[in-house]
């Protein structure tokens, strides 16, 4: 469909490489430990549970204790955001079929082509 999949994470590159290999993901990964991208999109929050601080510091190399709200964006070739999904409950993730359906709905079909 012409889309490129980008994943932005606060994890350090070493952890992202492991995740990519473990899940066999064909996407571009970007490491953003300072959480600049998530904060710019209004998707960062401070983890209130101090029990997670050690894990966060290990995976990010930072001590800010920020976490991102998971989000999915579909951006068209015209640079317009066509679809957004966010949910503060990190366990509520979109099914791949939903993302695929949303992506398909924004791909222009040639005139006269009926789907």
SS3 83: strand
26-45 mean pLDDT: 94
**What tokens does 15 get?**
């952890």
CA distance 19 to 17: 5
- Residues 56-66 pLDDT 10s: 899 899 999 89
Instruction: Give the pLDDT score at 55.
Output: 87
Domains by residue range for the chain, with CATH: 6-105 (3.40.30.10)
Give the pLDDT confidence score for residue 47 in this predicted structure. Answer: 81
Question: 114 pLDDT exceeds 70?
Answer: no
**Which parts of 25-79 are beta strand (E)?**
28-31, 44-46, 66-68, 71-75
Strands 81-86 and 71-75: what pairing?
antiparallel
pLDDT value of residue 69: 93
Least confident of 49-53, 75-79, 106-110: 106-110
């Amino acid at each position: 469909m012409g889309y490129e999949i980008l994943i932005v994470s606060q994890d350090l590159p070493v952890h992202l490489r492991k995740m990519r290999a473990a899940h066999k993901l064909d996407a571009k990964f970007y490491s953003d430990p300072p959480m600049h991208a998530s904060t710019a999109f209004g998707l960062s929050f401070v983890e209130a549970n101090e029990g997670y601080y050690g894990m966060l510091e290990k995976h990010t190399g930072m001590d800010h204790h920020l976490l991102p709200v998971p989000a999915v964006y579909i951006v068209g070739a015209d640079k317009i955001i066509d679809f957004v999904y966010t949910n503060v409950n990190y366990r509520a993730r979109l099914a791949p079929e939903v993302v695929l359906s949303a992506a398909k709905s924004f791909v222009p079909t040639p005139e006269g082509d009926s789907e």
